[in-house]
Amino acid sequence: MSEALTKNYIDGIWQEASAGATFKDVNPAVNSDVIGNFPESGVEDVDDAVRAARKAFRTWGSMPAPARGDYLRRIGDLLTERKSELAFQMTREMGKPFFETKGDVQEAIDTAYYAATETRRLFGHTVPSEMPNKFNMSIRRPIGVCGVITAWNFPVAVPTWKMFPALAAGNTVVFKPSEDAPHSGALLVKIFEDAGLPSGVVNLVQGSANAGRALVEHPDVNAVSFTGSTVTGSKIGESCGRLHKRFSLEMGGKNPMIVLADADLDLVIEGLLWGAFGTTGQRCTATSRLIVHEDVHDELVNTLKERASALKIGYGNEDDTEMGPVINQKAIDKIESYIAIGKEEGATLALGGNRAEGPGLEDGFFLEPTIFTNVTPNMRIAKEEIFGPVLSVIKISSYEEAVKVANNIEFGLSSAIYTQDIATAFRAMHEIEAGITYVNGPTIGAEAHMPFGGVKGTGNGHREGGWEVFEFYTETKTVYVDYSGKLQKAQIDNVED
Ligand code: UN1
């Protein structure tokens, strides 16, 4: 195995952190496989990175946007070339099966080409003036230096959702990956370097909460984009509010799948297996609540139990693995504590609930796919994010009740409804409180060119992906051109009485 890329990357130079502390990164499926020791960066490293980003902003920010797009296209080409080797290392580091990490890289490729194209479409408005011989328009300007702080579960897709539009719009970046996916972050940045991205345009600072805090609080960072836990996101929001920074938060979910009596149950089963147990349930979009009509409840739960218990659990870089480990011991502890809570609350443990055992599973963080039935809407396992392979099943007897239950949470990221009735589907699109609603598909599966984000406790109103993310990464400048040759006051100063 080639040596891991364990250094920071600042101003085009791979370098150690200024203090010597490091943290260890291990394979969650094979804990004896140590990926490397990564720098525990501090205030000084972050400061160096921000300075480099600020310096690079002077040229990057004023370059014609389509020229920036050319860099993104080259990055997309290199990601395509290295898709398999990158995916292998991502699976090794964060556990999801190889076919899923390849999908993760593909999302980055799509985002690269999409953002490259958007550099030719960073539209402003031209608007009629109140005055004769006056021209009004708005243009987009980059914001400056953006801090990008990401989670480990999509170690390439999510950072690139943030960085590619940031770069397309003319910003420069300081990127702090999750301490559970530092190597994937470094391999991604290496691709930027190899694609010829100028020094300082993207800087990589490894580390944990200290490095993240230093980045958020740095006076020369203009905007922060974060994906991760609600607790951390709230703290970032408080700091950014105090420091007058723009910030985009993408946090928890407790995503419902509503299944009505007329649903195509074969389709539902496929959707549930993917939505609830894909990525071992560790997506912020994972299907974590099944809200199912009483008429089809028993049939659905029985088939689901059968299919979920047959999922092949193992190391994701082995061919037939369908479900990998969870990320670390802390995740095991948290998920196990929720399984205990579910039992105490009186839900029925219908499947799983234990560490998964068997050949090849001795040295990793493996859990069984777990299903709770007889869950009522106010139980903690029905409302709190578990971030693991645990599905809570709630029985309902009408569409109206289903929507009420679906909305009975503090989060609002993704949602799904399975029904054959088109009117009901259209009602649900409006009535489910979530940033995303899938009709006859599971709660996961965002496409790169569509807005992504949540309402209520999930976010703070911004969207990633699609065209809307460019609203976040640009400042609007309003321009008035008066070619009348005389002082024309605005209408408010001209109207008599
Ligand atoms: C996340 O879990 O943070 O739609 C993002 C999906 C993925 C993105 C998930 N494309 O599930």
- Could you read off the pLDDT of 133-165 as tens digits, one per residue? 999 999 999 999 999 999 999 999 999 999 999
Q: Which of 285, 327, 387, 464 to mutate to test the pocket of ligand 1 (most atoms within 8 A of CB)?
A: 285
| ∠ Cα 190 195 196 (to 5°) | 100
- Give the closest residue (by CA) to ligand 1 atom 11: 444
pLDDT value, residue 492: 81
- pLDDT tens digits for 349-369? 999 999 999 999 999 999 999
Is the shortest distance between the CB of 285 and ligand 1 below 6 Å?
Answer: yes
Which has the higher per-residue pLDDT, 32 or 3? 32
Helix (H, G, I), strand (E, B) or coil at 471: helix
In short, whether 448's Cβ falls inside 6 Å of ligand 1 is no
**Amino acid, single-letter form, for residue 16:** E
Distance CA 57, CA 49 (A): 12
| CB of 96 closer than 6 angstroms to any ligand 1 atom | no
Average pLDDT over residues 486-494: 86
Q: Determine which residue's CA is closest to atom 8 belonging to ligand 1.
A: 446
Q: 36: CA distance to ligand 1 center in Å?
A: 26
- The answer to whether the CB of 445 is under 6 A from ligand 1 is yes
Which residue has the least CA distance to atom 3 on ligand 1? 284
Q: How far is the CA of 95 from the centre of ligand 1 (A)?
A: 15
CB 230 near ligand 1, within 6 Å = no
Give per-residue pLDDT as tens, 117-130. 999 999 999 999 99
Tell me the average pLDDT across 267-272.
98
Per-residue H/E/C for 177-188: CCCCCHHHHHHH
Give the HSE-up count for residue 232: Cα atoms under 13 Å, Cβ half-sphere: 21
Task: Name the pLDDT band for 2 (thresholds 50, 70, 90).
Answer: low
Handedness of CA 65, 68, 70, 74 (dihedral sign): negative
What does the pLDDT read at residue 20? Answer: 83
CA of 413 to the centre of ligand 1 (A): 10
Q: How far apart are CA 232 and CA 240, in angstroms?
A: 12
Distance from C-alpha of 205 to C-alpha of 313, rounded to nearest angstrom:
33
pLDDT at residue 270 tops 90: yes
User: Residue range 187-206: average pLDDT?
Assistant: 98
Minimum-distance ligand 1 atom for the alpha carbon of 282: 2
Edge-first strand order for the sheet with 145-149 is: 13-15, 8-10, 202-204, 172-176, 145-149, 223-227, 246-250
What residues have CB less than 8 Å from 99, skipping those under 6 apart? none
Strand ranges for 124-165 from DSSP E: 125-127, 134-142, 145-149
What is the spatial distance between Cα 260 and Cα 58, in angstroms, rounded to a whole number?
A: 56
Q: What is the pLDDT of residues 315-348, one digit of tens each?
A: 999 999 999 999 999 999 999 999 999 999 999 9
**Quick one: average pLDDT of 449-478?**
96
- Give the C-alpha separation, 368 to 489, whole Å: 71
Residue 466 Cα to ligand 1 middle (Å): 14
Q: Tell the CATH topology of 255-439.
A: Aldehyde Dehydrogenase; Chain A, domain 2 (3.40.309)
Average confidence (pLDDT) over 439-467: 96
Among 284, 326, 327, say which to mutate for ligand 1: greatest number of ligand atoms within 8 Å of CB: 284
Residues of the chain with CATH 3.40.309.10: 255-439
Which of 444, 458, 464, 469 for mutating ligand 1's site (highest number of atoms within 8 Å of CB)? 444
Going from the Cα of 397 to the center of ligand 1, the distance in angstroms, rounded, reads 30
User: Among residues 448, 364, 2, which one has the least CA distance to residue 183?
Assistant: 2
Q: Is 284 in the pocket of ligand 1 (CB under 6 A)?
A: yes
Domain 3-251+459-478 has CATH 3.40.605.10: yes
Ligand 1 near 153 CB (within 6 A): yes
Q: How far is the CA of 153 from the centre of ligand 1 (A)?
A: 8
Separation between Cα atoms, residue 179 and residue 102, nearest integer Å: 21
Band of residue 4 on the pLDDT scale cut at 50, 70, 90: confident
Q: How far is the CA of 414 from the centre of ligand 1 (A)?
A: 10
Rounded to the nearest angstrom, the distance between the alpha carbon of 465 and the centre of ligand 1 is: 11
Nearest to 115 by CA among 167, 152, 74, 158: 167
Residue 244 is predicted with a pLDDT of 96
Res. 463: pLDDT tops 90: yes
Three-class secondary structure of residue 157 per DSSP: helix
Ligand 1 centroid to 159 CA: how many Å? 12
436 lines ligand 1 (CB under 6 A): no
Calculate what percentage of the chain has a pLDDT beyond 70.
100
Contact 37, 7 (CB under 8 A): no
Active site residues: 250, 284
Choose between 489 and 373: higher pLDDT. 373
pLDDT over 80 (residue 289) = yes
Residue 417 has pLDDT above 70, yes or no: yes
Query: For residue 455, what pLDDT is reported?
Result: 97
pLDDT band at 68 (very low <50, low <70, confident <90, very high): very high
Q: Is the pLDDT of residue 286 over 70?
A: yes
Q: 205: Cβ below 6 Å to ligand 1?
A: no
Span(s) in the chain for CATH 3.40.605.10: 3-251+459-478
Phi, psi for residue 306 in degrees, rounded to 5: -60, -50
Mean pLDDT computed over 166-191: 98
154 lines ligand 1 (CB under 6 A): yes
Q: Which residue has the tokens 């094979």?
A: 30
For the Cβ of 227 lying below 6 angstroms from any atom of ligand 1, the answer is: yes
The pLDDT mean for the chain works out to 97
- Residue with the two structure tokens 């984000």: 453
Say whether pLDDT at 309 is over 60.
yes
- Cα 92 to chain centroid, rounded: 20
Q: What is the pLDDT of residues 203-249, one digit of tens each?
A: 999 999 999 999 999 999 999 999 999 999 999 999 999 999 999 99
> Over 90: is that where the pLDDT of 485 sits?
yes
CB of 283 closer than 6 A to ligand 1?
A: yes
Report d(CA 136, CA 142) in Å as an integer.
Answer: 20
Atom of ligand 1 lying closest to residue 103 CA:
10
